[in-house]
């Protein structure tokens, strides 16, 4: 294997027109979502003037994500996944239009606002498992990790640019313009789905509709590579999530400067984007299981070091390393799970991955806050980071299939003729 560092692997954008369309639409949707997040936060604060009100936004988004995410997995294993993604994207567009309309009408009801937010989040959650299964059907196996890296880079870029863009839009044109920007981005996302090929789950009947998903969809999670990969992610987020402790660390060590607090979040994002831009090296490695385990352990160690860091530059460096490790872990985990899961089960397994990805960090932040309140922020960070490393080491020691996992070589022929035709590949 060459030791040369490779930049972002753009082969999926060049080789697959459907994936390119999907990436453009997903990037637009993520940017619009970040703009809407800031707009909702600003509007709720304007309506309530209470941190309880802004905190309730988490309930309006978190509960639908968990409740409808699992249902979305069953839908993805039952119906044409392209149709599921299209229908839920249209639902998101209707909710975005509703947010824009209520802002233009100078709505003063926070309940109406939360209802529209929950509706849009519900549609997103219903479509998320099906959307997660698309890259593996559109790309050869040796490009799946590269495709997920491209998706992750656009997400990280949206997290950096979206809030700043939202602030500019709101300051100059007010809330309706911000919601309109989200609606326009959702239109782009919907248009990007037009040329996607049909993607029935494997085992669909000849009439094109699968009456019920393949049985045993949840038992597939017993497969060592799958439960090991999910357990690694859960260990990292549940035991070492640091964001809830940022304000306390900032207050104790850096005088509570809000600019410093912003730097904490930016450092994580900068590390993630940097790792994404250099991910061409990682996506060509075939030892995804070992890479995920290593990256997750580095995440825990970096956050433990952040808990002990004195100078600001060292604290930011630790967070940047953690952000980079997290990106590598996300890319390799996503590729492993999609490639290891039989297609007829991918929707339900993806829904579990999605729910853990949503709930794990939130529960990890809650755990970190509780421990810090009983001890100290530094102890919570160090204990959490080292506990995550030990838990990940336990997974590595007890799960030989995950350690030994290698990405399968690309098939000689695409499994889906419709995908091959859409991509311009002769079957």
Annotated domain spans of the chain: 10-201, 218-407
pLDDT reading at 2 higher than 50: no
Does residue 272 register a pLDDT over 80? Answer: yes
Q: How confident is the model at residue 206 (pLDDT cuts 50, 70, 90)?
A: very low
Assigned CATH class of 218-407? mainly alpha
The residue count for the chain: 427
- pLDDT range class, residue 164, cuts 50, 70, 90: confident
Between residues 420 and 190, which one has the greater pLDDT? 190
22-26, 215-219, 389-393: segment of lowest average pLDDT:
215-219
Cβ atoms of residues 74 and 192 within 8 Å = no
Given a cut of 60, whether residue 412 has pLDDT beyond it is: no
Same fold, 10-201 and 218-407: yes
Using the predicted structure, report yes or no on whether residue 210 has a pLDDT greater than 70: no
Rounded to whole angstroms, the Cα distance separating 237 from 187 reads: 33
What does the mean pLDDT of the chain come to? 85
**Is the pLDDT confidence value at 114 over 70?**
yes
CB neighbourhood size of 384 (10 A): 25
User: Given pLDDT bands bounded at 50, 70 and 90, which one contains residue 418?
Assistant: very low
Burial (CB count <10 Å: 0-12, 13-18, 19+), residue 90: middle
How many other C-beta atoms lie within 10 A of the C-beta of residue 24? Answer: 16
- With tokens 């492993």, the residue in question is 336
> pLDDT at position 27, please?
95
* Mean of pLDDT values over 366-382: 87
Q: How confident is the model at residue 417 (pLDDT cuts 50, 70, 90)?
A: very low
Residue 420 has pLDDT above 50, yes or no: no
Give the whole-number percent of the chain exceeding pLDDT 90: 46
First CA to last CA across the chain, in angstroms?
31
Q: Please give the Cα distance from 12 to 15 (Å, whole number).
A: 5
User: In which band, very low, low, confident or very high, does the pLDDT at 423 lie, cut at 50, 70 and 90?
Assistant: very low
Question: By the 8 A CB rule, do 39 and 167 touch?
Answer: no
Instruction: Determine the pLDDT at residue 218.
Output: 67
More confident position, 3 or 334: 334
CA distance 275 to 290: 17
pLDDT of residue 66: 84
Residue 204 pLDDT: 54
Number of Cβ within 10 Å of residue 14's Cβ equals 10
Q: What angle do CA 251, 254, 258 make, to 5 degrees?
A: 70
What pLDDT does residue 118 have?
93
Binning pLDDT at 50, 70 and 90, where does residue 273 land?
Answer: confident
Angle between helix axes 51-76 and 17-48 (nearest 10 degrees) is 150
Average pLDDT over residues 135-139: 92
Residue 21 has pLDDT above 80, yes or no: yes
Query: What are the angstrom distances between the C-alpha of 407 and each of 31, 76, 337?
Result: 31, 24, 11
Mean pLDDT, rounded, for 51-63:
76
What average pLDDT does range 69-88 have in this prediction? Answer: 92
Please compute the mean of the pLDDT values over residues 235-255 and round it to a whole number.
85
Check whether domain 10-201 has CATH 3.40.50.1110, yes or no: no
**Residue 424 banded pLDDT, cuts 50, 70, 90:** very low
Is residue 393 helix, strand or coil? helix
Give the distance from CA 341 to its chain's centroid.
Answer: 19
pTM of the model as a whole = 0.76
pLDDT of res. 120: 95
């Amino acid at each position: 294997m060459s030791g040369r560092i490779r930049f972002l692997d753009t082969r999926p954008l060049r080789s697959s027109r459907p994936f390119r369309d999907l990436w453009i639409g997903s990037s637009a949707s993520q940017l619009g979502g970040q703009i809407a997040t800031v707009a909702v936060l600003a509007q709720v604060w304007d309506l309530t003037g209470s941190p309880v009100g802004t905190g309730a936004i988490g309930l309006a988004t978190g509960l639908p994500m968990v409740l409808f995410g699992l249902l979305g997995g069953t839908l993805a294993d039952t119906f044409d996944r392209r149709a599921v993604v299209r229908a839920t994207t249209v639902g998101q567009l209707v909710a975005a239009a509703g947010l824009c309309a209520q802002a233009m009408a100078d709505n003063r009801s926070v309940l109406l606002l939360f209802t529209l937010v929950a509706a849009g989040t519900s549609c997103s959650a219903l479509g998320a498992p099906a959307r997660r299964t698309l890259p593996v059907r559109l790309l050869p196996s040796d490009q799946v990790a590269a495709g997920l890296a491209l998706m992750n880079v656009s997400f990280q870029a949206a997290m950096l640019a979206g809030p700043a863009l939202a602030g500019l839009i709101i300051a100059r044109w007010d809330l309706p313009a911000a919601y309109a920007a989200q609606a326009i981005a959702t239109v782009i996302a919907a248009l990007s789905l037009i040329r996607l090929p049909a993607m029935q789950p494997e085992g669909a009947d000849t009439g094109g509709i699968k009456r019920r998903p393949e049985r045993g969809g949840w038992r597939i999670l017993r497969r060592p590579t799958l439960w090991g990969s999910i357990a690694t992610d859960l260990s990292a987020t549940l035991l070492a999530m640091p964001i809830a402790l940022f304000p306390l660390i900032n207050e104790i060590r850096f005088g509570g400067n809000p600019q410093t607090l912003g730097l904490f979040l930016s450092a994580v994002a900068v590390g993630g984007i940097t790792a994404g831009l250099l991910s061409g090296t990682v996506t060509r490695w075939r030892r995804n299981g070992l890479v995920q385990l290593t990256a997750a352990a580095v995440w825990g160690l970096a956050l433990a070091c952040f808990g002990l860091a004195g100078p600001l530059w060292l604290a930011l460096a630790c967070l940047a390393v953690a952000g980079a490790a997290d990106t590598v872990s996300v890319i390799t985990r996503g590729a492993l799970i999609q490639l290891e899961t039989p297609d007829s089960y991918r929707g339900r397994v993806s829904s579990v991955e999605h729910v853990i990805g949503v709930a794990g960090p939130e529960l990890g932040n809650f755990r970190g806050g509780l421990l810090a309140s009983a001890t100290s922020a530094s102890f919570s960070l160090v204990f959490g980071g080292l506990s995550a490393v030990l838990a990940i080491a336990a997974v590595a020691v007890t799960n030989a299939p995950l350690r030994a996992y290698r990405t399968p070589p690309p098939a000689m022929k695409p499994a889906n003729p419709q995908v091959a035709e859409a991509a311009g590949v002769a079957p």
